[in-house]
Amino acid sequence: MSKSFDRLKSALKKLPGTGIKSAERMAMYLALENRADAAEIAESITAALGRITPCPECFGLSENGQPCEICSDKSRIPDIVCVVEKASDIAAIEKSGAWRGKYHVLGGKLSPIKKIGPDKLNLASLARRAEESGITEIILALSNDIEAEATCHYIQERVAAPRGIRLTRIGFGLPSGSQLGFADSGTIKSALESRKAF
């Protein structure tokens, strides 16, 4: 047996949805069966970590501290922002092709139990954006649970209402507590189309 192999296996097990068996199979593949792929994967992870940064405007995926492709795209609706919990939600919505406006990644949801207060989320930047970019509508594309509910109320009271911004929430074709990343394109599309005033 090999200590390095065990370390690789433990590291791979940290990947989302990876159990001990898959981690072991992947470690075996990388360490013994296909070392060229392993080198390519290792190199691309290092390169990505060096370049990928959160977009300074929406906190989605970008590179080298520059605004992301969506924020830089002049053809997109500039004054309607879709608020999501995670950067991966943007990918899910983009894949559905249902949205041509901008995004804002909160980086989580308010939760007193997990000690996540407003200062831990990208809320101050949302308020700043709302003011500086003349946002007219904020679409809440958060999951359907108590933490999301609290987050939506906070945005209503502190960001939207004081500035007269229309606040809407995506329709719930999505099951309770579901995550956007697991919803299919059709569901995301109809959830956006059936958004209602919050």
- Residues in contact with Zn ion by the rule CB under 5 A: 55, 57-58, 60, 68, 71
Q: How far apart are CA 181 and CA 164, in angstroms?
A: 31
- CB contact at 8 A, 102 and 81: yes
Least separation in angstroms between CB 176 and Zn ion: 29
Least separation in angstroms between CB 104 and Zn ion: 9
Least separation in angstroms between CB 74 and Zn ion: 13
At 97 the three-state DSSP class reads coil
156's torsion region: left (phi>0), alpha (psi -120 to 50) or beta? alpha
Instruction: CB nearer to Zn ion: give 76 or 195.
Output: 76
Instruction: CB nearer to Zn ion: give 26 or 81.
Output: 81
17's torsion region: left (phi>0), alpha (psi -120 to 50) or beta? left
Instruction: CB nearer to Zn ion: give 58 or 180.
Output: 58
Least separation in angstroms between CB 129 and Zn ion: 10
At 184 the three-state DSSP class reads coil
